[in-house]
Amino acid sequence: MNVLITSGGGAKGAFSVGALRQLMATTGIRSFDLISGTSTGALIAAMVAAGKIPAVTDIYLSNSNADILNKQNAIDNILNNKPYLYDTTPLENQIRQQMDAAAWNTIRQSSSVLCLNAVCLQTGRLSIFSSHPIQAGLHYDNLVINSTDMLVKALQSSSNQAVFMPPVTINGLQYVDGGNREVIPTRTVVTNLPPGQEHRIYILSNNPDAQQPGNSNYTGLLDVLLRAVTIFIQDVRENDLEVLRNFQQTATAPVRVYYISPEAELDPDFPTGLRFDRLLMQAWMKQGQLRAKTILQQYPDGNW
Q: Is the model's pLDDT at 78 over the cut of 70?
A: no
Can you give the pLDDT at residue 86?
79
Active site residue 177: yes
Total structural domains within the chain: 1
Query: Residue 272 — very low, low, confident or very high, per pLDDT cuts 50/70/90?
Result: confident
Cα(175)–Cα(158) distance, rounded to whole angstroms? Answer: 8
Q: Is the model's pLDDT at 304 over the cut of 90?
A: no
Domain containing 37 — which CATH number?
3.40.1090.10
Can you give the pLDDT at residue 120?
97
Q: Is 85 among the domain residues?
A: yes
**Average pLDDT of the chain?**
92
First to last CA, the chain: 17
Catalytic residue among 7, 16, 36, 39: 39
User: pTM to 2 decimals?
Assistant: 0.93
Q: Is 303 among the domain residues?
A: no
Q: Is 114 among the domain residues?
A: yes
Per the structure, the complete domain to which residue 109 belongs is given by: 2-298
Cα(136)–Cα(267) distance, rounded to whole angstroms? Answer: 36
Q: Is 52 among the domain residues?
A: yes
Q: Is the model's pLDDT at 163 over the cut of 90?
A: no
Active site residue 157: no
Can you give the pLDDT at residue 106?
97
Summarised one tens digit per residue, pLDDT across range 2-14 is 999 999 999 999 9
Report the amino acid identity of residue 194.
Answer: P
Q: Is 58 among the domain residues?
A: yes
Query: Residue 42 — very low, low, confident or very high, per pLDDT cuts 50/70/90?
Result: very high
Catalytic residue among 112, 177, 240, 267: 177
Q: Is 304 among the domain residues?
A: no
Q: Is 158 among the domain residues?
A: yes
Cα(295)–Cα(289) distance, rounded to whole angstroms? Answer: 10
